[in-house]
Amino acid sequence: MSNTIQFNATPDLQKQCGMWLESLTVENRLSPHTVTSYARDLTQFLDFLADHYARPPALADMSSLQLADLRAFLAARRHSGAQSRSLNRSVSGLRNFARFLERRDTPVSPAFNLLSVPKTTRSLPRPVARNDALAMIRLALESASAVWVGRRDAALLCLLYGAGLRVSEALQLDVKSLPPTQDRALRILGKGNKERQVPLLPIIRQTLDDYIRAAPFGFAPEDPVFRGIRGGRLSARQTQMMVAGLRRTLGLADTVTPHALRHSFASHLLAAGGDLRTIQELLGHRQLSSTQIYTEVDAQSLRDVYDKVHPRARGS
């Protein structure tokens, strides 16, 4: 990807930018989506410096940058409509790039480490209600243009809701990744190449088997599990469009997305008495704090119910 990006910088800085992006993929093993986001942030930063200096920035400029320069860049991003989450990613990316240069004995301004991270307001995940998730699966089976497509979509939705997979994890599954029928544990390679085992409920395994039997093409071990009309790997965009169509038909909120089904898996499991450590392992979270947010979702649900049934909430 780095070879296709034209950075607004002198050749020496362009070369380092390309090498950095390559290292994020090869050494850090970041996802293509994350690397693309970092590349976009770096492009915006270099465009800002080119305007700031009235010339393309050079590698030597990385050592003379002032804290005020970096703050001015963030202010410009904020003025253009960037939210705190995006600004945090920009700061993280710039610091990573600075460390990359330092490891290659390139002088780097200390301003990169002095730059403060913008405060963010943490928003709670918005899970899909159980009845709505089941209605989506039912509708996928009934409304698809072909029987096998309906079974494919239902199997995919079952994996997201019933096993808590990320969309990318489900779509990256190959046939050889599916466990034998008698083994109900699915091995998932998640973020940071962290492997975890996810139990497959019998109904989920059944939906997968029904889909594979109904599909109009054979499945070799190296073939993707979820395939499009032409046989290629189903894309995240196609999945989003499928869920959007189901959402509109059922009149559900715009927050009902493929990833929201993963939130539903976690929050519903917690509400049913699941412990945080187990849910952390099932989701593939590195930090328990990432899983603890679902305790707030559960508490908020209780407050919503309380507000609806309490006499004062009804105005009596």
DSSP state of 314: T
Give the torsion sign (CA, 43, 48, 52, 54): positive
Q: How many CB atoms lie within 10 A of CB 185?
A: 11
The single residue of 152, 205, 247, 285 carrying the catalytic annotation is 285
How far apart are the C-alpha atoms of 101 and 111, rounded to whole Å?
14
DSSP state of 9: S
Tokens representing residue 200 in the block: 């497959």
How far apart are the C-alpha atoms of 20 and 1, rounded to whole Å?
11
Q: Is 166 a catalytic residue?
A: yes
Matching residue, tokens 């073939």: 223
Smallest CA-to-CA distance from 64 within 53, 79, 75, 48 is with: 53
The single residue of 227, 262, 263, 268 carrying the catalytic annotation is 262
The single residue of 38, 161, 211, 294 carrying the catalytic annotation is 294
Beta-carbon contacts of 74 under 8 Å, excluding residues fewer than 6 positions away, are 87, 90, 91, 115, 118
How far apart are the C-alpha atoms of 77 and 186, rounded to whole Å?
42
The single residue of 259, 277, 310, 314 carrying the catalytic annotation is 259
Q: Is 77 a catalytic residue?
A: no
How far apart are the C-alpha atoms of 309 and 95, rounded to whole Å?
50
Helix (DSSP H) and strand (DSSP E) numbers for the chain = 13, 2
> Could you tell me if 83 and 74 are in contact, meaning their C-beta atoms sit under 8 angstroms apart?
no
The single residue of 95, 191, 196, 233 carrying the catalytic annotation is 191
The single residue of 166, 247, 263, 268 carrying the catalytic annotation is 166
Q: Is 259 a catalytic residue?
A: yes
Hey, which residues are catalytic here? Answer: 166, 191, 259, 262, 285, 294
